[in-house]
A and B are shown apart, each in its own frame.
Chain A
């Protein structure tokens, strides 16, 4: 099997969700998608390993799910939006996950985000035409 390469593959710290990821992690993403339904969430929580088996989620994929290793899941081809369906209701917000990806605390991650808005109103005023700028 020969997968074509893409120039987005060298963006650091980034796993662009494309056909290659989607193909390889199809059972995993199908499991994550099932969390749209309350009964499926309950069934998973009762026995995560059995739930993986039901969806054919095996090997490293299963290991990542059972360990809630979100970076591992992402690298293995989980889609971030589908993964959020597993993470958020189980106490890992998207910002918690972002912090985990970088090996920092959520507070540190949030502080880095807030710093992006430093001097915002002045920057908008300089450009002109913005509300409150």
Chain B
């Protein structure tokens, strides 16, 4: 049977992709941010998951505002990156596992998460950058991936509580799949940041650290907040932090904290890396 061995979080800001593409990761501005990924990369090297389910939001590459699914699952064998408008060179296509995706979709709908299924799904920096940061850049990616998109762009967006519930359903879905696959969940985005309006540049380090510690050890804590409350503290784009809860919900209630890394600011954000491992 498939099993979830752990979860990893990562920021997915565009600047991370630029820094990697332009070989800036050891420049003083970036060094501490990227050096903090080393233990997470080593953990993935050691565990060698067969499949990574990447929880992210699309920023206007695959989904326009004509149709905006709250939760959408890639159900294809290949996912392509593409031009997002700022002329960054797209990276190599990602290998999916359609049969596994369809099983997950069936199980989620059975559990009352009526998810949108996507047989063609372009993946943007929200999906690509965490993989590049955690695996390096490859012509042939070393792991099979499944994109799980959460709408954090156009409100109404799902609540933190709903995201945690989705994670729990995702665990049931994965663990009922008959193939022997080791699965890791990436929760991407966040932490606090606001790009828009006169309040642009907001970062709340204390809230970020509280979120990291609670998401690791007491994720229910996050569910007390409405999305308005999260945006008030963490900024409008900081709402992405709810996607970490999908990852967390898919793990056991008690997990081993393998690695905890926080850096601020990077570009306009507070950025956190968590590596959480299920006890076997």
A120 interface neighbour in B65, B196, B260, B263, Cβ under 8 Å:
B263
Question: Is B201 within 8 A of A36, CB to CB?
Answer: no
In chain B, positions 57-86 with a C-beta closer than 8 Å to chain A are 59-61, 64-65, 82-86
B200 contacts chain A at the CB level, 8 A cutoff = yes
A82 contacts chain B at the CB level, 8 A cutoff = yes
- Considering the complex, give the chain A residue whose CB is closest to the CB of B210: A127
Question: Is A14 within 8 A of B197, CB to CB?
Answer: yes
Main secondary structure of the interface of B (DSSP, over half): loop
Which of chain A's residues have a CB closer than 8 A to the CB of B213? 127
Question: Is B260 within 8 A of A130, CB to CB?
Answer: yes
Question: Is B262 within 8 A of A124, CB to CB?
Answer: yes
A113 contacts chain B at the CB level, 8 A cutoff = yes
Question: Is A33 within 8 A of B200, CB to CB?
Answer: no
Q: How large is the interface on B (under 10, 10 to 19, 20 to 34, 35 or more residues)?
A: 35 or more
Which of chain B's residues have a CB closer than 8 A to the CB of A112? 201
A67 contacts chain B at the CB level, 8 A cutoff = no
**Once bound together, how far apart are the Cα atoms of A126 and B207, in whole Å?**
15
- Considering the complex, give the chain B residue whose CB is closest to the CB of A127: B209
Quote the shortest CB–CB distance from A15 to chain B (angstroms): 5
Quote the shortest CB–CB distance from B233 to chain A (angstroms): 10
The 8 A CB mask of A76-96 against B (1 = contact, 0 = none) is 000111101110110000110
**Once bound together, how far apart are the Cα atoms of A38 and B50, in whole Å?**
36
A80-B195, A130-B260, A133-B262 as given contacts; A102 in contact with B36, CB under 8 Å: no
Of B4-12, B149-157, B172-180, B182-190, the one contacting chain A is B149-157
Q: How large is the interface on A (under 10, 10 to 19, 20 to 34, 35 or more residues)?
A: 35 or more
**Once bound together, how far apart are the Cα atoms of A82 and B86, in whole Å?**
11
A41 contacts chain B at the CB level, 8 A cutoff = yes
A59 contacts chain B at the CB level, 8 A cutoff = no
- Considering the complex, give the chain A residue whose CB is closest to the CB of B194: A14
- Considering the complex, give the chain A residue whose CB is closest to the CB of B39: A131
Of B129-137, B161-169, B224-232, the one contacting chain A is B224-232
- What are 8 sample pairs from A and B whose C-beta atoms fall under 8 A apart? A8-B227, A14-B199, A80-B236, A89-B87, A117-B264, A120-B205, A123-B209, A132-B36
Quote the shortest CB–CB distance from A82 to chain B (angstroms): 5
B277 contacts chain A at the CB level, 8 A cutoff = no
**Once bound together, how far apart are the Cα atoms of A112 and B268, in whole Å?**
10
Which of chain A's residues have a CB closer than 8 A to the CB of B226? 7
Which of chain A's residues have a CB closer than 8 A to the CB of B87? 38, 89
Question: Is B156 within 8 A of A18, CB to CB?
Answer: yes
